[in-house]
Amino acid sequence: METSPIPVLTVQTAPFEDQRPGTNGLRRKTAVFEGKKNYLQNYIQSVLSSIDLRDRQGCTMVVGSDGRYFSRAATEVIVQMAAANGIGRLVIGHNGLLSTPAVSCIIRKIKAIGGIILTASHNPGGPAGDFGIKFNVANGGPSSDTVMERICQVSRTLEEYAICPDLRIDLSRLGRQEFDLENKFKPFRVEIVDSVELYLQLLRNIFDFNAIKSLFSGPDQLKIHIDAMNGVMGPYVRRILCDELGAPANSAVNCVPLEDFGGRPPEPNLTYATSLVDGMKGGDFGFGAAFDADGDRYMILGEKGFFVNPSDSVAIMAANLSSVPYFRQLGVKGFARSVATSTALDRVAKAMKLALYETPTGWRYFGNLMDSGRCSLCGEESFGTGSDHIREKDGLWSVLVWLSIMASGKKAVEQIVREHWAMFGRNYFCRFDYEGLDPRAAFYLMRDLESVISDKAFTSQKFAVGDHVYSVERADNFEYIDPVDGTVARNQGLRIVFTDASRLVFRMSGSGGGTGATIRIYAESFERDPERHSRETQVVLGPLIAIALKISNVHERTGRRGPNVIT
């Protein structure tokens, strides 16, 4: 019995004024996507319509999620709308799950036009949590400012969307599913693929798996403790670290993806990855790591919970890339970091006589540098590091780099870090996050602070805190000119650099879930003397923080007594 073609419907709608994507796509409270009529459909149509019609017809796209609440329902809508809008083929992870690095990998491998990732990264999940939609382009990386502006413009004038509401797919069944649609000459195809396989194949071509395997055997075998934080990384950790590389199965915890991530924010830092931190303190494990919901961020801990600051992590990776076959074969072209990340990476670049690029926050700025062959490794202070193997930050790749360094030098995490500090000096670094602020209060605070640091008199100012005197060398609102295409990104963070290389950076963050503004304050102080490399970070940076609080008046102007999070 022949089945009738699935009808394609055009549904009338009205535009929303708040669908401008931010640094990591569009993030809102889950209730907004789930409860506001057509909110999800409008944004998906805006994304699809931002692709030129000639490129869209018959093209391939990738879809994945971090498994958070509402992902399955949203995936079904995306499939129905992709079919109605002329997409020829969707490649979707098994049960809808794909890590962000895996999406980037697959886009590049199959030459897809782009991919839609359902994630709000490290933000909480569940019905009361956050939801996000991110569109990655054909190079596998996040949308450029131009693409995001195009999506925004479509969203503000949208009057209708196209959908096939009767189209149903089975996300649990691996393989190809085909559907005949009304007025379409070719069937619409959906392929449900193994979430891990293509990404695992890529990693096999980058690392010496046998060298990493050797860490987990013999009399001095390394015991590791890995926390997937009930996000998408569970299947990847089990398959790659345990099954492929031989780490014992009990090395990995919280590996079942849950819609609410077990009731905690899936954020790999000392505040939220408490089960990992507590598990490492006893000294039973020599290496620990945690991943965020979509697998692009990570945290590294050494024995007894020794914390590796993310800014140090990328610098240490840069100094030891010869431990990874991929870089031995292809060479190292240059490094990049965000403006808010410490200058530890700069010191490695200088020693290796390689270019160092300072960019705004947001992984999309690294894409042009890598596509043009200028950059091999890049990182951000927000627990994200990656290389030109894909166009996203990559948590598991970062962990494998660290394990490769350990296997190569037969050294423990803390020893690797301290030897790096002895060679290059230590950049003490911390970040204060003031979250959920009134947006107007945050805006005016930043505006007034810019006026203060832009005054000519400010550059000759001295700040005395206790027995410390800090002299301002320069101050500005960071502006980035892309060396590849000349595009300019302004207002990317207020910077104050002191004569002793200490720095303060102030930024309003665009990665929240729509529940107010976030102001982040970053403090950094460089110490060359190895005898002073074991001091408490907050003690070293206390005077700088005091200056930051004084000139910004953040507590007085926000009514806060302190930051929500310190990292």
Grouping H, G, I as helix, E, B as strand and the rest as coil, residue 296 is: coil
Determine the straight-line distance between the first and last CA of the chain, rounded to whole angstroms: 63
Q: Cα separations (Å) of 24 from 229, 381, 467, 482?
A: 20, 16, 42, 19
Which H or E run contains 448?
helix 439-454
Among 121, 143, 404, 511, the one annotated catalytic: 121
Query: Count of CB atoms within 10 A of residue 488's CB?
Result: 9
Nearest to 233 by CA among 66, 63, 95: 66
Radius of gyration of the chain (CA): 24
Residue 557: partners with Cβ closer than 8 Å, 6 or more residues away: 441, 444, 445
The C-alpha angle with vertex 156 and arms to 150 and 162, in degrees rounded to 5, equals: 85
> Token digits for 371?
């596509």
Q: Which two tokens stand for residue 272?
A: 């939220």
226, with CB counted inside 10 A (0-12, 13-18, 19+), is: buried
Q: d(Cα 75, Cα 92) in Å, to the nearest integer?
A: 9
Contact at 8 Å (CB) between 243 and 260?
no
Q: Is 201 exposed, middle or buried (0-12, 13-18, 19+ CB in 10 A)?
A: exposed
Please give the Cα distance from 26 to 50 (Å, whole number). 15
- Clarify whether 214 is annotated catalytic: no
Whole-number Å distance between alpha carbons of 63 and 83: 13
**Helix ranges, 181-256 (H):** 197-204, 209-214, 234-236
Of 338, 519, 507, 536, the residue nearest 429 (C-alpha): 536
Adjacency order of strands within the sheet including 384-387 = 355-359, 334-338, 377-380, 384-387
Do residues 489 and 365 lie in contact, with contact meaning Cβ atoms separated by under 8 Å?
Answer: yes
Identify whether the C-beta of residue 189 lies closer than 8 Å to the C-beta of residue 177: yes
Where does 135-220 have alpha helices with state H? 145-157, 197-204, 209-214
What number of other Cβ atoms are within 10 A of residue 143's Cβ? Answer: 22
257's CB contacts (< 8 A; 6+ apart) are: 66, 67, 97, 230, 231, 232, 234, 235
- Which has the closest alpha carbon to 526: 368, 320, 315, 243? 315
Catalytically active residues are 121
